[in-house]
Structure 1
């Protein structure tokens, strides 16, 4: 889920940023970047705003292509048809423009079949040396569809949403990077499910406030021969860290997937058959989440509580994979309309199986993370 401040955010929908190349002479590459805007929900006008920001950030020197699939909110009045469409940002006559390429019939953009078809269509029609993916929608990490009334599992179209494993399976080629502009997508479960789908993952372990990532700056970072994924995350953090009150709320991490296995292997050593709710006081573990739920715990803080003597070793291995992480002093939760302090932050979260969530526990068993780490799960 991405949280919308209906009052406070009204005046903060346009992002202004400076071109910040990774070097004095940036080398751009042949890359097709796909932006998937699953905003057929309560994201009013989000497709237009993001396309405008991406267009403002497009440079004539970029060698690749930028394709945007958008499924906008259905209109409440007669203005607009609300049908999904495909747009390409191109350089024409001395300026960047967004050109509408195609309009689709009404479809469920949270369907794995539709998601894969869109990606395959773009990759087939616009082949490149490499690919990148940016997804904007509501999300709730690995949680199964319908677990929470709000937020929803990744990519939300009205009352429909997509399971994490279906999302991962639907990605047809390995991406240079995936940016998940959605809530709760920096969980260990999410990262491990996507381990074979991308070289780098950029996501947040907590709730993401509108306007989310800084789209105007993104292409200058991501069209580089070596995409500057850290700069994308830093722009996001810097934007929200400059805000005040509840708007000063951001958590973000960048994962290098090739460095995943050492800390996952150590996680198995430290968590295999561990009954966390019996061995530690869950109320004392740093928690991120929607309201008062106990579904997203900081992984590092959990390991520290279980195995304080192994915490430094674990942290070092995690930091080899989490190449950038940042957080504001606290985070905002839409569930309680409250702002909570962040006292521990490893860059990623974990679900601790609990007896009060039998359905969630049953689904948790099928995740690649769970099968690899083998935690204790209550019957």
Structure 2
């Protein structure tokens, strides 16, 4: 939990919710939390129904780590797995996030995960900091349900849960999902559904949620199917259509546009070319859900994933080319001779 930012109180609330949901979990729930620039803590969550106080044990204190340092994150995860060995491991990444947004560009100064006094972690550095022995990754962070992000992390975990759009600061309903985290991968659908149900039950603008559960190994074939379509239909210099495609970024000045992946396909390719990729989407996506609106804006189309639509002269294109999805899905064809 990278909460050395405006989310610190939401982070503490999430920990209280975890304690409330940890009555009979079959395993160990550890939380690394940073809420200040001085020190951070590794907590071992223990059951407590009182939502007004945190009673979990502090098992390690870390002194003044560098802000959003991927190597430090790597060390924390390694320490946790060494000191608390288990048959399987899952990881939740909780903080601000901005999809795959590049470290710097002419128009933006941001990175994609874990805002800590203004500094964040580059998405590729974040990937490289993680072990590859995870059963699941859950992104409790905005806009990490894009094909570009998911493809980067496909070798790190068997399953990934993320939101294609932004997430409300209230976060996942940990009082509900904590037991599911210890009941095997079959229960991950219940985690995603609990997230959707929690926000869909609101009757005001908090009725805003998108969520997807993907089987990471199927992302490889999804990229293969995408490349086959690109090779068949696109040439160097072709332009992608982006007008009138469902956007799933709802925050003003969000650094990179997030388009619904299915709507992108429908606007840019003939229907008879999409049969195989839609069949593969069904294998890749194990659960998806979206509220009717997000912060008052209608969600008319929702395929479960988002994508970026690059263009010639795009200030983000140089960084976008570093992402594995760009190379493996054939998105390079209109841009590289």
Within 2, Cα distance between the matches of 1:105 and 1:310?
55
Q: Which residue of 1 aligns with 2:171?
A: 212
Conserved 8 A contact 2:32-2:40: yes
Aligned partner of 1:106 in structure 2 is: 64
Pairs within 5 Å for 1:203-352? 203-272=162-231, 274=234, 279-289=239-249, 290-291=251-252, 295-307=257-269, 308-332=271-295, 339-352=296-309
Which whole-Å CA distance do the structure 1 matches of 2:237 and 2:22 have between them? 49
Aligned equivalent of 2:44, options 76, 80, 88: 88
Deviation of 1:324 after TM superposition, in Å, equals 0.3
Say if 2:21 is the partner of 1:57.
Answer: yes
Alpha carbons 1:353, 1:378 under 8 Å: kept: no
Q: Which residue of structure 2 aligns with residue 125 of structure 1?
A: 83
Unaligned runs of 5+ in 1: 1-36, 75-81, 333-338
Q: Which residue does the alignment assign to 1:39?
A: 3
Report the alpha carbon displacement of residue 292 of structure 1 after superposing the two structures with TM.
6.4
Q: What is the CA-CA distance between 1:222 and the residue it aligns to?
A: 1.1
Describe the superposition over 1:333-353 as per-residue Cα deviations: whole angstroms up to 9, x where unpaired.
xxxxxx321121111111111
CA contact (8 A) 2:213 2:286 kept: yes
What's the CA shift for 1:372?
0.7
Residue 38 of structure 1 and its aligned partner are, at CA, apart by 0.5
CA contact (8 A) 1:46 1:72 kept: no
Q: Displacement of 1:371 after TM fit?
A: 1.5
Structure 2 residue runs of 5 or longer lacking an equivalent are 49-53
Determine the C-alpha separation between the residues in 1 that align with 2:116 and 2:234. Answer: 37
Separation of aligned partners in 1, 2:142 and 2:129: 20
| CA-to-aligned-CA distance 1:80-129 (integer Å, 9 cap, x gap) | xx62111102469xxx9511122211123511111101001111111111
What's the CA shift string for 1:167-213, capped at 9, x where partnerless?
A: 11111232111000011101111111111100100001111112121
Moved more, 306-315 or 97-106: 306-315
1:14 corresponds in structure 2 to none
Does the 8 Å CA contact 2:160/2:216 hold for their aligned counterparts?
yes
Question: What per-residue deviation string (whole Å, max 9, x for no partner) do you get for residues 308-367 of structure 1?
Answer: 2233432221011111000011223xxxxxx32112111111111123523x10011111
- In structure 1, distance between residues paired with 2:225 and 2:174: 36
Segments ≥4 residues shifted beyond 6 Å: none
Partner of 1:15: none
Please point out which of 341, 361, 364 is paired with 2:320.
364
TM norm structure 2: 0.89
From the superposition, tell whether residues 226 and 349 of structure 1 become closer, same or farther in structure 2 (CA, over 3 Å): closer
How many residues align structurally?
325
Counterpart CA distance in 2 for 1:166 and 1:254 is: 23
